[in-house]
């Protein structure tokens, strides 16, 4: 160890052990950047194991977040959230319509199961933070706690905030799309700060009477309009006393958010899905990743989770569940790595193996489906509107069902019946890695290759009886059969 390093270590030790009350010098086992679903979940599981966890959040909580607020039913896998969801959801979505870009064709789907719960992110995220705090995590919130960058040091990570520097043995990047740890990992892997996989997605909530929702959107029927106005994926999620309306620009397409929302709202009014004409003035926007997971989600003493790792469905933009699941997996890996001694990259590699084998193939499959819908949306939606089984398959995909990769062969077989071979060939096979194929992250840290789950994954059996023929008044465009 060099003289400077010894000097630094000595000073660091003195500050940490003799002046523990100074925030700027306080140490932690783990610093979590961001109190969204990913960060709060990771913090809860780590704190439960007795680790000293500090969450740094740049906003004052509770905070709003631009979002559709649709939480898939897998949320019950986090059993501690079940009571909150059951008591506080703003409607259980049990019906769905997906339109193609021409607005002529539609897949309509009804089920007795909950497709997703409608929530308000402000409340949902705040509850997750409360669980983390109850488990013993600490929270510093507000603009001074914004993390500007991170730096690997000999015995830990330096976290540089607006207020000063903090040190931790491990840092979790849970800061969403613009996360500083993700930036560090990208740069140390020689990748540029390319944000072209993201577009800003604007959303607003329009207050309505509950009776209007019950009448116009029975079973909290959600609407997706794929390729609306040839530029965005647009949605309406009806909630108890509001309509959540948003648009998601296709990758590479720039739109004026307010104008595009207005065009969509005008369309909704024209098909009786809005109670009155409305001029969009206020809306919230946030970056929404569309390219699927990044290749490398860990480094020495660092892990990225949720949107920071782009763990978002490229087909629907669904990311809350993946954020929480990755937070839980990160906590598990970090706890094990710290117990073994040094949380270097090899020790943290199991994190990536865990999410890859659990839902990595699904997210990559979603990317293929998103491409299919972008290229052949009208044909696919028209076919699905006529074909009971295909309809069920697509509806499950749009609802973010885990198991998307396993459904791929079923979808392809179904399409093979009617789709001409030249078009079928352009419908992409799964783009995830094959078993034994090396991935960039394994190359980088010389870990054993990860087996792609494509061959082992059981195919999802979709209940045929979950699909009923369309019923009730159809106030949208007429579905052609």
Ligand X SMILES: Cc1cc2nc3c(=O)[nH]c(=O)nc-3n(C[C@H](O)[C@H](O)[C@H](O)COP(=O)(O)OP(=O)(O)OC[C@H]3O[C@@H](n4cnc5c(N)ncnc54)[C@H](O)[C@@H]3O)c2cc1C
Closest CB to ligand X among 319 and 377? 319
Q: Is 203 in the site for ligand X (CB under 6 A)?
A: yes
Of 260-268, 319-327, 342-350, 424-432, which part binds ligand X (CB under 6 A)? 319-327
Q: Is 360 in the site for ligand X (CB under 6 A)?
A: no
Task: Name which of 160, 140, 163, 144 is nearest 152 in CA terms.
Answer: 160
Q: Is 319 in the site for ligand X (CB under 6 A)?
A: yes
Q: Is 150 in the site for ligand X (CB under 6 A)?
A: no
Contact pattern for ligand X over residues 21 through 60, marking x by CB under 6 A:
------------xxxxxxx----------------xxxx-
Return the residue of 180, 293, 392, 406 that touches ligand X, per CB under 6 A. Answer: 180
Task: Name which of 210, 44, 41 is nearest 134 in CA terms.
Answer: 44
Compute the residue count for the chain: 481
Q: Is 404 in the site for ligand X (CB under 6 A)?
A: no
Return the residue of 156, 227, 246, 292 that touches ligand X, per CB under 6 A. Answer: 246
Query: At closest approach, how far in Å is the CB of 426 from ligand X?
Result: 29
Q: Is 288 in the site for ligand X (CB under 6 A)?
A: yes
Q: Residue 58: CB partners within 8 Å, gap ≥ 6?
A: 34, 141, 142, 143, 145, 146, 147, 175
Closest CB to ligand X among 39 and 403? 39
C-alpha distances in angstroms, 59 versus 37, 69, 144, 182? Answer: 14, 19, 9, 19
> Of residues 55-94, which lie at the interface with ligand X (CB under 6 A)?
56-59, 63, 65-70
Reply yes or no: is the peptide bond before residue 62 cis, omega within 30 of 0: yes
- Rounded Cα distance between 386 and 363, Å, is 27
357: DSSP letter? I
Q: Is 197 in the site for ligand X (CB under 6 A)?
A: no
Return the residue of 323, 338, 393, 399 that touches ligand X, per CB under 6 A. Answer: 323
Q: Is 318 in the site for ligand X (CB under 6 A)?
A: yes
Closest CB to ligand X among 36 and 452? 36
231: DSSP letter? T
Helices 388-398 + 361-386 axis angle, to 10: 140
Contact pattern for ligand X over residues 109 through 148, marking x by CB under 6 A:
------------------------------------xxx-
Return the residue of 133, 286, 291, 467 that touches ligand X, per CB under 6 A. Answer: 286
The angle formed by the CA atoms of residues 29, 32 and 37, to the nearest 5 degrees, is 135
The angle formed by the CA atoms of residues 257, 285 and 355, to the nearest 5 degrees, is 125
Task: Name which of 249, 254, 262, 250 is nearest 206 in CA terms.
Answer: 262
How would you list the strands of the sheet with 198-207, edge to edge?
106-110, 95-99, 222-228, 232-239, 242-249, 198-207, 284-289
Q: Name the residues that contact ligand X, by CB under 6 A.
A: 33-39, 56-59, 63, 65-70, 145-147, 174-176, 178, 180, 201, 203, 246, 286, 288, 306-308, 312, 317-321, 323
């Amino acid at each position: 160890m060099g003289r400077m390093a010894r000097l630094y270590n000595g000073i660091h030790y003195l500050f940490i052990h003799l002046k523990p009350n100074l925030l700027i010098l306080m140490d932690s086992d783990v610093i979590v950047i961001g109190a969204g679903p990913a960060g709060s979940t990771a913090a809860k599981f780590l704190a439960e194991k007795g680790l000293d966890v500090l969450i740094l959040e740049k906003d004052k909580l509770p905070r709003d977040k631009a979002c559709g607020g649709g939480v898939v039913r897998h949320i019950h896998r986090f059993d501690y959230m079940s009571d909150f969801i059951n008591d506080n959801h703003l409607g259980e979505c049990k019906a769905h319509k997906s339109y193609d870009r021409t607005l002529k064709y539609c897949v309509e789907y009804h089920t007795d199961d909950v497709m997703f719960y409608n929530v308000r992110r402000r409340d949902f995220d705040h509850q997750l933070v409360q669980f983390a705090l109850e488990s013993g995590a600490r929270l510093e919130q507000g603009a001074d706690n914004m993390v500007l960058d991170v730096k690997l040091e000999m015995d830990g990570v330096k976290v540089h905030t607006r207020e000063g520097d903090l040190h931790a043995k491990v840092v979790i990047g849970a800061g969403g799309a613009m996360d500083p740890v993700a930036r560090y990992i990208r740069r140390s892997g020689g990748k540029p700060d390319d944000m072209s996989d993201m577009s800003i997605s604007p959303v607003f909530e329009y207050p309505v009477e509950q009776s209007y929702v019950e009448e116009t959107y029975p079973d909290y029927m959600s609407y997706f309009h794929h390729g609306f106005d040839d530029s965005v994926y647009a949605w309406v999620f009806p909630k108890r006393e509001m309509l959540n309306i948003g648009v998601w620009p296709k990758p590479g397409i720039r739109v004026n958010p307010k104008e595009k929302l207005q065009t969509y709202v005008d369309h909704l009014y024209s098909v009786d899905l809005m109670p009155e004409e409305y001029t969009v003035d206020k809306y919230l926007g946030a970056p929404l990743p569309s390219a699927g997971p990044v290749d490398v989600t860990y480094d020495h003493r660092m892990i990225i989770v949720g949107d920071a790792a782009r763990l978002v469905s490229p087909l629907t933009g669904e990311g809350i569940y993946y954020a929480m699941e990755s937070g839980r997996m990160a906590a598990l890996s970090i706890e094990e790595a710290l117990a073994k001694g040094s949380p270097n990259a090899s020790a943290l590699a199991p994190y990536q193996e865990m999410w890859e084998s659990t839902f990595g193939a699904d997210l990559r499959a979603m990317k293929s489906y998103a491409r299919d819908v972008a290229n052949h949306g009208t044909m696919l939606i028209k076919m699905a509107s006529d074909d009971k089984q295909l309809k069920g398959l697509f509806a499950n995909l749009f609802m973010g069902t885990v198991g998307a990769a396993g459904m791929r062969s079923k979808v392809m077989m179904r399409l093979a019946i009617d789709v001409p071979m030249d078009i079928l060939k352009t419908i992409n096979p799964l783009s995830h890695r094959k078993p034994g194929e090396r991935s960039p992250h394994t190359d980088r840290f010389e870990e054993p290759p990860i087996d792609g789950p494509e061959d082992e994954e059981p195919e999802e059996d979709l209940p045929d009886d979950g699909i009923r023929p369309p019923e009730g008044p159809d106030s949208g465009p007429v579905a052609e059969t």
